[in-house]
Structure 1
Amino acid sequence: MKKMVFGAAVAAAVMAGLSGAAVAKDSYRFVIVPKVVHPWFDLVNDGAMEAAAYLKETAGVDVEVEYLAPQTASVVEQNQILERAIATRPDGIAIDLLDASANKPVLEEAQQAGVKLAAFDSVPPDGMVFTAIGNDFCEQAKLASERLVELLGGKGKVAIMQGVPTAPNHNIRYECHKEVFASYPDIELVAEGIDNDDIETAQKQAATIMQSNPDLGGWVACDAAGPIGIGQAIKEAGLEGKVQMVGLDNLPDMITLVEEGVADSSSSTRPQIQGFYSVMMLYDGANGIVTPKTVDTGILLISKDNLEGELR
């Protein structure tokens, strides 16, 4: 990945973290808990490791980042990982929630144990207060849906791949996709898939939906796996240019689909930066600094003409 360069504002935040604590420690351990084993979360971990190196260089502290990913998108497995992590008393845990209500009791247990929390690519459960690092999920979905509607000339049949329905960010995107489509009288939402953040599942569901709806005009998705699976199904059916897709996120396979013209574009989060700021917020929190409610990392609109993405 490209090395991220952070300026004086971040350096100042580091020093603020040091000066805000009564006694600064020489070392910290932070745990990153994603939704599932997935290439997108590998990029988050890359950013977290860069933050650890940055803190070592600028603040002279050792930061260990422990990355603990569920093998499947199971809230039971994710909560078990959380329980085990809490028992080891880390300085902080950053999590991408699979189910806010089901995760909440374990996250409350973490706070009661004095473990600092942050959410990345998600939002805290109702009634809990800790920093959320990510982007405006609704705006991200609307950006994609509006672009798809434009590609279809304001009329046609569309489908949504939901991701993990209980995941806060996926559900927010889903509802906002539907809101956009409902505002256009000549756009008909005819099908929805649930891929549970798995590319193979997304491919199979997309293939089935397109067979059942041969006049389908286009797709949007609520997770990073969805559009890759959809793109594979479009290619296998020979529907490039006939079924439109506006994807999600910036995984290499997603970029390739844009390059090939299988996807028109992608409405992307910035996973590396989310990982970086997750560690930074946990570090400040562990040093007694009041952290912001949200850190908005922005949205990139990636198109064939701009594969680096335009920040929105």
Structure 2
Amino acid sequence: MKSIFTKLMLTAAVIASPALATADDHGDDLKYILVSHAPDSDTWWNTVKNGIALAGEQMDVSVEYRNPPTGDLADMARIIEQAAATQPDGIITTLADFDVLSGPIRSAVDQGIDVIIMNSGTVEQARDVGALMFVGQPEYDAGLAAGLRAKGDGVESFVCVNHAISNTVVAQRCQGFADGLGVELGSQMIDSGEDPSEVKNRVQAYLNANPDTDAVLTLGPVSADPTLLALDEMGLSGEIYFGTFDLGEEIVKGIKNDIIEWGIDQQPFLQAYLPVVILSNFDRYGVLPGNNINSGPGFVTKDALEKVEEFAGVYR
């Protein structure tokens, strides 16, 4: 296992001796594997795939994307173990469930493989498993910012449509939103599941049972797209305050048509692109950013859609 002290000494050695070509004696034949928790059906991750592909091309390194086809986290743990067994130069992975995934990640680190946590997890969890850093959006802070914004717009109650209930960090978006409004989360967060029909039905059931709900908060296209259909069927499109995390083709249309107030862009492209660039430069030159990287949040509204609309689902 390469200790933090060793990594710092390697960095110092490169600064002191420009003639040293690499920090870890790797050369140019570098390989990185990104492992996500996303099922094959979640198209939001296409942007992540585009991010590592472009970074691999630009940095002239080999990159590979792996994921559990159904989103099963036990399967993901096995995929991390299998990736580590091939001894890549680095693993980039989400940390969707600390209890399930921390063991395989620590094992990879113990084998001398550099790891960067992206998208899911926290800075503290990344440090705990021995990762170099975390690249992603601080979920609670993003939810809090959204809640404060909604409170300023007059929102007092909401339903948070959580399609990723097993990813405990994602629920922090709902908690932060509630805290921003200054209300209890309680039963305002619903487990919608990922099936589009179920998401739509559960949103409609909640709003029918709670007709005074001021706002809907969705946590990505998986829940946002069916919610758009649910609101349309109920005659609530454009009538109820609607905010969402992440972007996608239907979300962008919803913002453009004044149905969705804003989308929170955590920039998944950067979450995948930057770790490849960071690992490449660390392996070749021993240089490493001193801090974790916040890729979001950023609010995308109707008046800032031009560039987003052009690249939605591809790089945004």
TM over 0.5: yes
1:197–1:30 CA distance, 2 compared to 1 (3 A): farther
Measure the CA separation in 1 of the matches of 2:193 and 2:83: 24
Pick aligned residue for 2:238 from 232, 241, 244: 241
Match of 2:208 among 206, 211, 215: 211
Q: Select between 189-198 and 260-269 the one with higher mean Cα deviation.
A: 189-198
1:88 corresponds to 2:86: yes
TM-score normalised by L of structure 2: 0.80
Aligned to 1:148: 150
Residue 166 of structure 1: how far off its partner (Å): 4.2
* Residues 246-302 of structure 1, C-alpha deviations (whole Å, 9 max, x = no match): 111121221111112221111111111111102122323444444444112232211
Q: Give the letter aligned to residue 143 of structure 1.
A: A
1:222-268 superposed Cα distances (whole Å, 9 cap, x missing partner): 34422223222112222112221111112122111111222111111
Q: Which amino acid aligns with 2:128?
A: G
Mapped partners of 2:155, 2:297: distance in 1:
24
Unaligned runs of 5+ in 2: 1-17, 309-316
Are 2:226 and 1:229 aligned? yes
The residue number in structure 1 matching 2:253 is 256
Q: Per the alignment, do residues 67 and 144 of structure 1 end up closer, same or farther by CA in structure 2, a change over 3 Å counting? A: same
* TM-superposed deviation, 1:139: 2.6
1:46 corresponds to which residue?
50
Change beyond 3 A, Cα 1:146–1:120? same
Please give the TM-score of this superposition, normalised by the length of structure 1: 0.81
Aligned to 2:69: 71
CA RMSD for the aligned pairs? 2.5
Q: Which residue of 1 aligns with 2:97?
A: 99
Tell me the number of residue pairs that the alignment of Structure 1 and Structure 2 aligns: 282
SS in structure 1 of the partner of residue 226 of structure 2: helix
Aligned-partner residue type, residue 135 of structure 2: I
State the SS of the aligned residue for 2:30: strand
Q: How far apart, in 1, do the equivalents of 2:32 and 2:212 lie?
A: 49
The question of 1:177 aligning with 2:177 is answered yes
Q: What is the Cα deviation at residue 51 of structure 1?
A: 0.9
CA distance, structure 1, for counterparts of residue 149 and residue 186 of structure 2: 15
| Contact preservation (8 Å) 1:104, 1:125 | no
Q: Is the 8 A contact 1:95 1:119 kept in 2?
A: yes
Mean alpha-carbon deviation: is it higher for 221-230 or for 110-119? 221-230
The change in CA–CA distance for 1:195 and 1:87 in structure 2 (over 3 A counts) is farther
Q: 1:191 aligns with which of 183, 188, 191?
A: 188
SS in structure 2 of the partner of residue 202 of structure 1: helix
Q: Structure 1 residue 127 and structure 2 residue 128: aligned? A: yes
CA contact (8 A) 2:200 2:226 kept: yes
In the alignment, what sits opposite 1:23?
A: 25
Deviates more, 1:229-238 or 1:120-129: 120-129
Q: Residue 276 and residue 125 in structure 1: after superposition, are their counterparts in 2 closer, same or farther (change >3 A)?
A: closer
Alpha-carbon shift at residue 20 of structure 1 (Å): 4.7
1:160 partner letter:
C
Q: Distance in 2 between matches of 1:219 and 1:70?
A: 30
Aligned to 2:265: 268
List per-residue Cα deviations over 1:5-62 (Å, max 9, x = no partner).
xxxxxxxxxxx9x845153422211111122132221101111111112113xxxxxx
Q: Secondary structure at the match of 1:219?
A: strand
Q: Answer with 164-173 or 25-34: which moved more.
A: 164-173
**Post-superposition offset of 1:163:** 3.5
Share of identical aligned residues, percent?
18
In structure 2, relative to structure 1, the CA distance for the partners of 1:303 and 1:120 (3 Å cut) is same
The amino acid of 1:283's aligned partner reads S
Quote how far apart the aligned CAs of 1:212 are: 1.8
Residue identity matched to 1:27:
D
C-alpha contact 1:93 1:282 (8 A) present in aligned 2: no
Change (3 A) 1:190 1:24: closer
CA distance in structure 2 between the partners assigned to 1:21 and 1:85 by the alignment? 23
Describe the superposition over 1:144-202 as per-residue Cα deviations: whole angstroms up to 9, x where unpaired: 22233333x244x3111234234254033232122123x25xx9865322245565543
Quick one: distance in 1 between partners of 2:113 and 2:298? 32
- Tell me if the contact between 2:243 and 2:262 (Cα under 8 Å) persists in the aligned partners: yes
What amino acid does structure 2 have at the position aligned with 1:128? V
Q: One-letter code of the match for 1:46? A: N
Residue-by-residue CA offset, 1:93-124 (whole Å, 9 max, x unaligned): 11122201210111011111222111111233
Local SS of the residue matching 2:228: helix
Q: State the SS of the aligned residue for 1:216.
A: coil
